[in-house]
Structure 1
Amino acid sequence: MKSMTGYGKGQARHGGIALTVEIKTVNHRFGDISIKAPRFLISFDNDIKKRVGERLRRGKIDVFISQEASEALTTVPVLNQPLAESYMDLFRKMEALFDLRDGVPLTLLAQQRDVILMQEAAPDAQGMAECLYEALDQALIAVEQMRAVEGRATREDMESRLTQVEQMLALIRDRAPLVVEEWRQKLHQRLERFGGELEVDPQRLAQEVALFADRCDISEEVVRFASHLGQFRDLLQKDEPVGRQLDFLAQELNRETNTMGSKSNDAELTRMVVQVKAELEKIREQVQNVE
């Protein structure tokens, strides 16, 4: 099990270029990958998303790529052709205007500001790709490790809470049948206080008890709840993203608990159900961070 929260960083160098890749992930219903990188890496966007998506299935995933030029990076002179042509046009006009015949020497043109620019030599595409993917893989490994560590802690916390829920479910299962019998006894006691003033129809009394028993019967809810708990525990052991399935089961467990609460008709049973709901809410909060 992995969390959706994590951070990882990777660095690599090639041909005088140093690339740093940072990955930050937080909770998200789906897998949402965004990339912020220098313009010269824009052609790698799809490949980056594919590599990240194969290893981080779910979460809001931000990939930050920065470049640092090292001292080893070479520069080359480059002709600023539009500016050079503008100077040549100007010089020719000056020749015609002042009736000059010597021509425009190359040294004069080369001496003009910004006609010759120094630019960084572009790294080869293959080397840049290797540099990028090396840094990216380092960052992915780091973020996966962090997500795995937090995922283990989350699973252990949920397993502990599930144990408490199972213990309370056992108490609810034992308590539920007693509710009807206690209600029947209280009804008889109230009738006895009237002495012989009321004529009680045994058949009608049995019907009332049966109706009450039907209204507060939570046996089906208890069975479904236990089944959901078993599925929940099974998912916790799977070596794959299970966050969405756990979220669905958490909702189903909460629904069954609400039904048990509405049917309880007993203060002690209601107290137990409230305790279950409190633990389920804490489990649901943890589930929101599971990949």
Structure 2
Amino acid sequence: MIRSMTGYGKGEALSEQGRCTVEIRSVNHRYGEISVRMPRAFMALENEVKKALACTLKRGKIDAYVQWEEAGGCAALPAADLVLARGYAELLRSLSQELGLKEEPSLGLILAQKGVLGEAVAGQPDPDQCLAQLMSAVQGAVAAMDAMRRREGDALLCDLASRRGQVAQWVQRISERAPQVVDEYRQKLKIRLDQLLEGTEMDAARLAQEVALMADRCDVTEELVRLSSHFTQFDDALAADEPVGRKLDFLMQEMNREINTIGSKSSDAEVTSLVIRIKAEMEKMREQVQNVE
């Protein structure tokens, strides 16, 4: 069963220390690229998170976001830089003396100076103690994303199978039409030669040679056989329960190459029309394949 590369998943895990939330988003990408953003306290566990994601998500640009909320909803308090605060206090006192002012610098004035109060910092857990909780949230997010990617994969499967069936029908019409093209060429060539020779006896061997040369130039048997093989491999890939996006992309390239060759060999209007239809449909298939993991 194929999977889409696009998806979203969210997982949560609770403990006495707090709540760990993991969100994962993925979009199309030629390879597998995983990016993780998490609180500074969890940075040592980044590789563990990436390994857990890579076990299931094989391809796509994957962004994971880890959030931590302290238990009890404790308010985050800003951190004060005491060294910097003392420095500002001394500087302000010195300025007051130089200017002949008697006022002492107020606490509010000191706190208003840049850098004295840092950003609010919530309580941070011990990452070693929260590893199991983090991994539980990651697995929950991965499971949710995988379910979504499977649902989208089902839609892709139906669309690709339908278009592949339509292409196969048109290829079958080309296969049926190809022998007729040679017979029609033989008849047209004979009529034209009769008109040019005006009753003069025709060289049957020469006519047969010309027809044989034309038949060799427009013979698409090899291309049709290879297309049939590609169709079989394409169907097998759609039924496989593993990442097959790259294989499908390669098969689309090979199928397109065979169709182009058929088009270049044929001078028949009906075959050319079928080739144009097939190429248009295969382009839509190629676009869909770009979404497959």
Common fold, TM-score beyond 0.5? yes
Shift of 1:21: 1.1
Match of 1:242 among 227, 237, 244: 244
Q: Tell me the alpha carbon deviations over residues 37-60 of structure 1, each in whole angstroms, 9 at most, x when there is no partner.
A: 111110011000000000100000
Amino acid at match of 2:7: G
Q: Tell me the alpha carbon deviations over residues 258-279 of structure 1, each in whole angstroms, 9 at most, x when there is no partner.
A: 0000001100011111111112
- Are 1:12 and 2:13 counterparts? yes
Segments of 5+ residues of structure 2 without an aligned counterpart are 91-110
Amino acid at match of 2:55: E
- Are 1:32 and 2:20 counterparts? no
Counterpart residue number, 2:264 = 262
- Structure-1 separation of matches of 2:27 and 2:143: 16
Q: Tell me the alpha carbon deviations over residues 174-209 of structure 1, each in whole angstroms, 9 at most, x when there is no partner.
A: 000010110111111112223527664322222111
Counterpart residue number, 2:292 = 290
- Structure-2 separation of matches of 1:191 and 1:131: 87
- Are 1:232 and 2:229 counterparts? no
TM-score, reference length from structure 1: 0.82
- Are 1:166 and 2:130 counterparts? no
Summarize the alignment of residues 190-209 of structure 1 with structure 2, pairs less than 5 Å apart. 190-196=192-198, 200-209=202-211
Shift of 1:242: 0.8
Segments of 5+ residues of structure 1 without an aligned counterpart are 91-112
Indicate how the Cα distance of structure 1 residues 217 and 83 shifts in structure 2: closer, same or farther if over 3 A, else same: closer
Indicate how the Cα distance of structure 1 residues 64 and 190 shifts in structure 2: closer, same or farther if over 3 A, else same: same
Amino acid at match of 1:277: K
Aligned residue for 1:125, secondary structure, equals coil
Cα RMSD between the aligned structures?
2.7
Moved more, 200-209 or 261-270: 200-209
- Structure-1 separation of matches of 2:34 and 2:200: 75
Counterpart residue number, 1:275 = 277
Report percent identity of matched pairs: 49
Indicate how the Cα distance of structure 1 residues 190 and 74 shifts in structure 2: closer, same or farther if over 3 A, else same: closer
Amino acid at match of 1:144: D
Indicate how the Cα distance of structure 1 residues 208 and 241 shifts in structure 2: closer, same or farther if over 3 A, else same: same
Aligned residue for 1:15, secondary structure, equals coil
Match of 2:130 among 128, 133, 136: 128
Amino acid at match of 2:191: Q
Amino acid at match of 1:10: G
TM-score, reference length from structure 2: 0.81
Amino acid at match of 2:241: D
